[in-house]
Amino acid sequence: MWQAIALLSSAAREAVKTNTPPVLKTNEEDSPKSNDVCKLLEGLVVLQEIRTKRASPHPLGTRKKGVAMLNEEDRERIRRGYYVEKKSIHQLAREEGCNRITIRKALANETPPFKETSRAKPNLVFGPYKERVELLLQQNERLPRKQRYTAHRIFEIIREEGFQGSESTVRMHVARYKQATRAPDVFLPLEYDPGQDAQVDWGEAVVVIDGKRQKAQLFIMRLCFSRRTFAMVFPTQRQESFFWGHVKAFEHFGGVPHRLSYDNLGTAVKLVFEKSGRSGRPRKEVRAFVSFRSHYLFESHFCTPGQGHEKGQVEHGVGYSRRNFLVPIPEAASYEELNRQLLERCRKEDARQVSRQTQSIGQAWDQEREQLLPVPRSSYECCQMTTVRLTPYSQGTFETNRYSVPVKRARREVTLKAYPFTVEIWDAMERLCSHPRCYERYQDILDPLHYLPLRCRSAPEPSTLRNR
């Protein structure tokens, strides 16, 4: 008897491991009674297996599914089996391993009940100080901007009051509080009339000029109605470059917009202190910018400091031009060549249609061009003008660099005009020479032809020349 029970136990363990019905094995040496008992127990196992198969076709130990455990594939299979394959609810319940109530709910297309997410467990350490922290955060609304409670300061305050937790717990709660109480920034969508508004801004990009990798300044002007964009690169953001970009943009657009919007560019405005004691620093336009604006007769508008969304079109235009016109990093022999490439890319943009617009950029520009102000016949002198005294070597010094002047035309004092890419030296109304502008320091920019008349004189040559 005990041998039969031991055999039945080992067979049950083997059945659990292999997920198969138990099989009893006996030896021929066992007594007849033991064999009879084993056969009896084996018959009971077979009978239990038959009952289990009638209840469910799935293996032993499989848990029945409830309606909340059915996924969309299970629901589809049940509905297809009932309505298309004409299976009974009883058959579907056996095949799916669930009861008939679940099958009926699936056939009724009943969605699973909403399961609420588990609520966060109360923080026993931070909980008593939660109201205290929120009270300090509410006081920030009435405090000066630079003297408000920070998360670190709040942590120090409640730690002195007995808080035993970490600073990260306080920081997490402060962040969640600000996110829940602070209203998101929303903006007013704007529409523009043709020819009325344009926006101007600077950006930076890396370029390769004459084999040298350097950082260039990207000038962008964009018409607000047609979204036609002009892009040009300069070595610096100096005033002459700022004005030169405007002149070339007006030529590209075929006219002058009625109003131009800027941020607080140093080349256009300067901040001044008032002696009246009133708060704030008012802006005063630079005299040269007023002269430039008077020449082209446009109005200027300066955005609120730190509010880039007030000229969002050109802010987007700077990034768009940099990503689409200057990727990969462009290479050119000079800035003039690179700007010709950029101008060609700007013209190709006329065929593009901006999202949510009914016409292309070029079509909108044709409509806007008629509303622009006419470009004056004479261009503005976009240069820095200064009077320089020539050295004994017939050179004029500008920004630590020395530029040669023809010795036949040398004068004691001449006028130097520094354009973004060239330097011209004038004597009254006569131009003496022109050089590429150098932005390095302490360089000599010489033209050997300027000194050729010295070699033709009857005087003896200097010893330094005879020895060569």
- State the pLDDT at residue 276: 44
Which CATH fold would you assign to the domain 197-369?
A: Nucleotidyltransferase; domain 5 (3.30.420)
The average pLDDT across 197-216 equals 94
Here the tokens at position 451 are 């000194």
The average pLDDT across 359-379 equals 94
For the four alpha carbons of 298, 313, 383 and 338, in that order, the dihedral sign comes to negative
pLDDT digits (tens, 9 = 90+) for 296-352: 999 998 887 767 666 778 888 899 999 999 999 999 999 999 999 999 999 999 999
Burial class (CB in 10 A: 0-12, 13-18, 19+), 390: buried
- State the pLDDT at residue 321: 94
- State the pLDDT at residue 246: 96
- State the pLDDT at residue 253: 96
Lowest mean pLDDT among 91-95, 161-165, 357-361, 456-460: 456-460
Query: 445 and 398 in contact (C-beta within 8 Å)?
Result: no
Report residue 443's pLDDT band, with 50, 70 and 90 as the boundaries.
very high
The average pLDDT across 2-21 equals 57
Report residue 106's pLDDT band, with 50, 70 and 90 as the boundaries.
confident
- State the pLDDT at residue 58: 47
